[in-house]
Amino acid sequence: MTSNEEQKARLERAQEIIGYHFVQEDLLLAAITHPSATEGRSVAFSYERFEFLGDSILGALVAVVAFQRFPDLDEGGLTRIKVALVSGSNLSELAADLGFADIIVFGSSETGTGKRGLHSALENVYEAMVAALYLDGGIQAASAFVERTLIPRMSLDMANEPENPKSVLQEKLQEDGITPTYRLVETQGPPHDRTFVAQVFAGVQSLARGVGRTKKEAESQAAKSALASLGDMFASGDRSEKADKAAVRAEKAAAKAEEKARRKNEKETTRQTKQKKQG
């Protein structure tokens, strides 16, 4: 299958998934194209600019629905629903369920890596798709897609989720006079698809690690993991023993995930080195 044939097949599949026929297919092609497939070309040919616009449109659409659906919620509750719904993990999971992994156009640099950037790419393509729909069919087209795919995941329970895990963790630890600190321990992946690994500490005790597309997201994930692991500790008077056990569990889980990511990164580095020698 030639490159053009593959693109055409992906465009057709994408339109089947979203239930919309594009008048301007170049908009759709850009929305599903990973930056690795446009090296040396303008950013207009990948989803990078589209996700910027899509993120804003998506936030507005979700805010309107939440505002109308939950008239008794205050600003804080509405914000937590919006943040939870448009979070990277939720959009990535949704895009995967929709079958977006089969429509993304990756470049040769991603070949043989197991598409390590797939998680973030799924999130980005969902946002880019919202932008492409808006540009091609107006707010009605974008809204119809979001209401069919994302809005069914909206629930009142989301209003109870912590808006900022770092703030919640800090409040918990400061009850014992401890201020959590964060440290960036690793940066993985190529410049256009960075992955950051952050570690959170309570004094000198490591609590958990988190992985994210930005340093802020990695720290937030680390805080969320720490809260999950330390939940039992804060509900009990016997804090020290439970803290140690929870920290060990969190550290082992994070180390396992980090080691898996590191092995993939090493394989990619080896592959690129071989290519350079052969060239």
Whole-angstrom CA distances from 120 to 47, 167, 168, 233, 235 are 12, 25, 25, 33, 35
What is the per-residue pLDDT across 217-254, written as a single tens digit (0 to 9) for each? 889 889 988 887 776 444 444 444 444 544 444 455 45
In the prediction, which pLDDT does 258 show?
Answer: 57
Q: Is 200 exposed, middle or buried (0-12, 13-18, 19+ CB in 10 A)?
A: buried
Residue 48: name the closest of 192, 145, 188, 189 by CA. 192
* Together in a domain, 137 and 242: no
Confidence of residue 262 (pLDDT cuts 50, 70, 90): low
* Together in a domain, 55 and 172: no
In the prediction, which pLDDT does 36 show?
Answer: 83
CATH number, domain containing residue 247: 3.30.160.20
* Together in a domain, 170 and 138: no
Count of CA atoms in the C-beta half-sphere (13 A) of 27 = 20
160, 176, 196: which is the final residue of a domain?
160
* Together in a domain, 173 and 153: no
* Together in a domain, 154 and 234: no
CA distance 220 to 188: 18
Q: How many domains does the chain have?
A: 2
Query: Over the chain, what is the mean pLDDT?
Result: 81
CA distance 17 to 22: 12
125, 160, 195: which is the final residue of a domain?
160
Neighbours of 268 (CB within 10 A): 20
DSSP 8-state assignment for residue 71: T
* Together in a domain, 198 and 66: no
The mean per-residue pLDDT over the stretch 171-186 comes to 86
Whether the pTM exceeds 0.75: the reply is no
* Together in a domain, 79 and 196: no
Joined together, the tokens standing for residue 206 give 């490591």
| 93 labelled catalytic | no
* Together in a domain, 182 and 146: no
CA distance 133 to 89: 22
What is the per-residue pLDDT across 79-101, written as a single tens digit (0 to 9) for each? 889 988 998 878 988 999 999 99
* Together in a domain, 125 and 188: no
| 48 labelled catalytic | no
Of 51, 110, 123, 127, the catalytic one is: 127
* Together in a domain, 53 and 152: yes
113, 130, 160: which is the final residue of a domain?
160
Q: Are strands 180-188 and 205-212 parallel, antiparallel or unpaired?
A: unpaired
What is the per-residue pLDDT across 93-152, written as a single tens digit (0 to 9) for each? 899 999 999 999 888 765 544 455 677 789 899 999 999 999 999 999 999 999 999 999
Contacts of 23 (CB under 8 A, 6+ apart): 136, 137
* Together in a domain, 139 and 223: no
Contacts of 161 (CB under 8 A, 6+ apart): 80, 83, 84
Confidence of residue 4 (pLDDT cuts 50, 70, 90): confident
Confidence of residue 259 (pLDDT cuts 50, 70, 90): low
47 within 8 A of 128, measured Cβ to Cβ: yes
CATH number, domain containing residue 140: 1.10.1520.10
Residue 186, domain extent: 165-278
In the prediction, which pLDDT does 25 show?
Answer: 93
* Together in a domain, 120 and 245: no
